[in-house]
Amino acid sequence: NSFVTRTNTCGELRAAHVGQKVTLYGWVQYQRQGLFLVLRDFQGLTQVIIPQDEAHSQVKELLSNAPLESVLRVTGTVSPRPQGQENPKMPTGDIEVKAETAEILNSCKKLPFEIKDFTKKSEALRMQYRYLDLRSSRLQWALRLRSRVVMRMREYLCNLHGFVDVETPTLFKRTPGGAKEFLVPSREAGKFYSLPQSPQQFKQLLMVGGLDRYFQVARCYRDEGSRPDRQPEFTQIDIEMSFVDQAGIQRLIEGLLQHSWPEERGSIVTPFPSMTYEEALAEYGTDKPDTRFGMKIVDISDVLRGSNVHFVQNALSYPHGSIKTICIPQGVRYLTNKDLGSLKESAKSQFNQEIMEIICRPDGSLKSLLTKFLSEKEQSELIQALNMQEGDVVLLAAGEHKQVCSALGALRLLSANLLEAAGLALRDPTAFHFLWVVDFPLFLPKAENPTELESAHHPFTAPHPSDVSLLYSDPTKVRSQHYDLVLNGNEVGGGSIRIHSAEQQRFVLEKVLKEDSEVLSHLIEALEFGAPPHGGIALGLDRLISLIVDAPSIRDVIAFPKSFRGRDLMGNAPDYVTPEELEPYHIQVSWPLEEKEAKKN
């Protein structure tokens, strides 16, 4: 209560305060028949008794008629609640404040929705009136926890490990590859700034500059359009170190998270387990596995290799051909025929992958279109390989390794959702399973043109020391020194050891990625001036906090988020500007025909 005129907050009064005269400020949360009201502030709730005697008639009238969510100042005496009227659910439930004087500091007009966590309101309405939504205890808790976590991170990095907090520019230039960047016009005709999608180049240049250890709570920008649960502006805990290897970065991040982890969410165990990219793909069908539950992908190619099943033999005849499965525990009990149909349809529409189911009957026999082509021995081997139990449902896919793994990985998650919706507890919502994924490929074929390559991470990532020679002979086989941190199936961080040789960086850009290295000439030149070996990582703060507080969306841990389509519904941004305002930037807007007509009308 320093620097303010209240004596106490609405959440701190207890039986020990009985008899004290207090001044409280807050919002009217609830009022009952002119007898009492509940006053709320950031810390909690206090019950205020409205006086009924003639001497305090003005106070009674004011408090009885104060609209909900009006801001009040109340002065009164702390009293114990009458016996039997205590409220054990409220921290202040043993006391009440008998009002003596009161003032409405600001009256509230009719609300668009009630300020209650359990009130159903559309997300669009919540974002339009975000300043009202922020009053909810759920958002207050999330934002305050976020602030605590960031403060502990600063303490760990700066005070305990000598990191320097450096702010890097927001106006920069376009970076080749990666996500699309927002453009900002300049007064020089035809020239634009770019908002950085991360401080990547600057943090590497700080290492060249000898700062040794850098970190920043960095604002980043990506023009990715309408992507679910993404924001055009977001926050990273951005870190870079000199003279470090992959293991050093991993230990730093494990210590950072352990130090800053909120006590109320339990404790986390370090070191985190590690898995290669190939292992993650083969066992979970994704590079960000949710390891809170099993249902791993099992390769049964060897079991069926000798069978006479045509589609099996056809799949195995191709390079990287395989037969893989996932086993859904108690699938017969929890999944309907409609559920199985939707799983098959999903694999077909998203991955062009056919799926066949195998059901384990109560007598231990198998029910499937496949079983009439299999001998008793092959069926027995199949049951053993999959550890099938009575009532399990197996989904089988045949085809190219990566496609089959990706399809089954997606079905694994969809199946888990269906099982949980039907009442089977599969993923513990209070468990936090961290995982390092390492040894990613350095390059991947471009989706739009598979004969060309793009960086799997970004063009500054160093090749794996064992694969450096392959960079010049067969770049598709090169592993990278790129590592991702995964939490409960969500990527919450990613980083790499960087290329610190100007020659190698120029080769990657020009020869492998076919990019114009001139755009990055400042960075390449800096590498020629004695750049130290260096590496780093960025943690996605919004995603990390949303997982810690179990929020349905990252928008629930950001004070003023954008909508699904990247709009600010409260301030109505982006917005139009006049031709006169655009003139200094040498820009004219070319309107689509329908918008021209709309503006005329």
Are residues 319 and 209 part of one domain? no
Dist. CA 471–CA 469, nearest whole Å:
5
What is the CATH number for 257? 3.30.930.10
Contact 7, 23 (CB under 8 A): yes
Are residues 535 and 459 part of one domain? yes
Helix (H) or strand (E) holding 152: helix 137-154
| Entry pTM | 0.93
Are residues 23 and 89 part of one domain? yes
Q: Is 113 part of a structural domain of the chain? A: no
Contact 240, 207 (CB under 8 A): yes
DSSP string over 18-62: TT-EEEEEEEEEEEETTTEEEEEETTEEEEEEPP-SGGGHHHHHH
What is the CATH number for 303? 3.30.1360.30
Are residues 469 and 533 part of one domain? yes
Predicted local confidence at residue 228, as pLDDT: 66
Q: pLDDT (tens digit, 9 = 90+) per residue, 29-52?
A: 999 999 999 999 999 999 999 999
pLDDT of 188 > 70? The answer is yes
Contact 28, 73 (CB under 8 A): no
What is the CATH number for 28? 2.40.50.140
Token readout for 71 is: 């801001």
Strand segments, DSSP code E, in 222-299 are 233-242, 274-276, 298-299
Q: Is 123 part of a structural domain of the chain? A: no
Predicted local confidence at residue 116, as pLDDT: 80
Q: Is 496 part of a structural domain of the chain? A: yes
Q: What percent of the chain has pLDDT over 90?
A: 89
**Span 334-350, average pLDDT:** 96
Are residues 324 and 353 part of one domain? yes
Are residues 442 and 503 part of one domain? yes
Dist. CA 386–CA 370, nearest whole Å:
15
Q: pLDDT (tens digit, 9 = 90+) per residue, 370-410?
A: 988 888 898 999 999 999 999 999 999 999 999 999 999 99
Are residues 146 and 271 part of one domain? yes
Token readout for 46 is: 């206090």
Dist. CA 443–CA 512, nearest whole Å:
9
More confident residue, 319 or 217: 217
Q: Of 106, 126, 149, which marks where a domain is finished?
A: 106
Q: Of 391, 422, 453, which marks where a domain is finished?
A: 422
Predicted local confidence at residue 135, as pLDDT: 95
Range of the domain at 68: 15-106
Q: Of 393, 422, 451, which marks where a domain is finished?
A: 422
Q: Is 341 part of a structural domain of the chain? A: yes
Q: pLDDT (tens digit, 9 = 90+) per residue, 80-119?
A: 999 999 999 999 999 999 999 999 999 999 999 988 876 6
Are residues 343 and 228 part of one domain? no
Q: pLDDT (tens digit, 9 = 90+) per residue, 435-468?
A: 999 999 999 999 889 999 999 999 999 999 999 9
pLDDT of 345 > 80? The answer is yes
Are residues 153 and 261 part of one domain? yes
Predicted local confidence at residue 577, as pLDDT: 92
Q: pLDDT (tens digit, 9 = 90+) per residue, 494-510?
A: 999 999 999 999 999 99
Predicted local confidence at residue 391, as pLDDT: 95
Are residues 411 and 438 part of one domain? no
Q: Is 547 part of a structural domain of the chain? A: yes
Predicted local confidence at residue 462, as pLDDT: 98
Dist. CA 144–CA 484, nearest whole Å:
27
pLDDT of 601 > 60? The answer is no
Are residues 394 and 490 part of one domain? no
Are residues 303 and 217 part of one domain? no
Domain count across the chain: 3
Residue 546: band (very low, low, confident or very high) from pLDDT cuts 50, 70, 90: very high
Q: Is 361 part of a structural domain of the chain? A: yes
